[in-house]
């Protein structure tokens, strides 16, 4: 994920990020299915999607953590 894209996601709302996460999870599912039936040619695509999911989950966690700190 590029720096500009990261900045965009840090400014996005949690709902927007969750929408993107569900899309990425669906893509990962489809890629794993293609891998099982032998159609997948680009194996690194699975790794890249998993990394993007991890980054977005981290951003959601940061946003939720900052909300909890502000409530205290």
Tell me the domains of the chain and their CATH numbers: 13-71 (1.10.287)
Question: Per residue in 14-65, pLDDT tens?
Answer: 999 999 999 999 999 999 999 999 999 999 999 999 999 999 999 999 999 8
- Give backbone dihedrals phi and psi of 40, rounded to 5 degrees, phi first: -75, 125
In this prediction, residue 2 has a pLDDT band, given cuts at 50, 70 and 90, of confident
**Tell me, what's the pLDDT at 72?**
53
Residue 68: HSE in the Cβ half-sphere, 13 Å Cα cutoff: 6
Q: What is the pLDDT of residue 69?
A: 67
Report in angstroms the alpha-carbon separations of 40 from 22, 54, 67.
Answer: 21, 22, 41
**What is the pTM (predicted TM-score) of this model?**
0.85
CA 36, 49, 59, 11 dihedral sign is: negative
Q: What is the 3-state secondary structure (H, E, C) of 6-31?
A: HHHHHHCCHHHHHHHHHHHHHHHHHH
């Amino acid at each position: 994920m590029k720096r500009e894209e990261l900045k965009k996601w840090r400014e996005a709302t949690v709902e927007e990020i969750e929408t993107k996460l569900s899309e990425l999870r669906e893509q990962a599912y489809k890629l794993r299915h293609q891998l099982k039936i032998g159609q997948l040619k680009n194996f690194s695509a699975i790794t890249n999607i998993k990394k993007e999911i991890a980054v977005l989950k981290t951003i959601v966690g940061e946003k939720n953590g900052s909300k909890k700190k502000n409530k205290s």
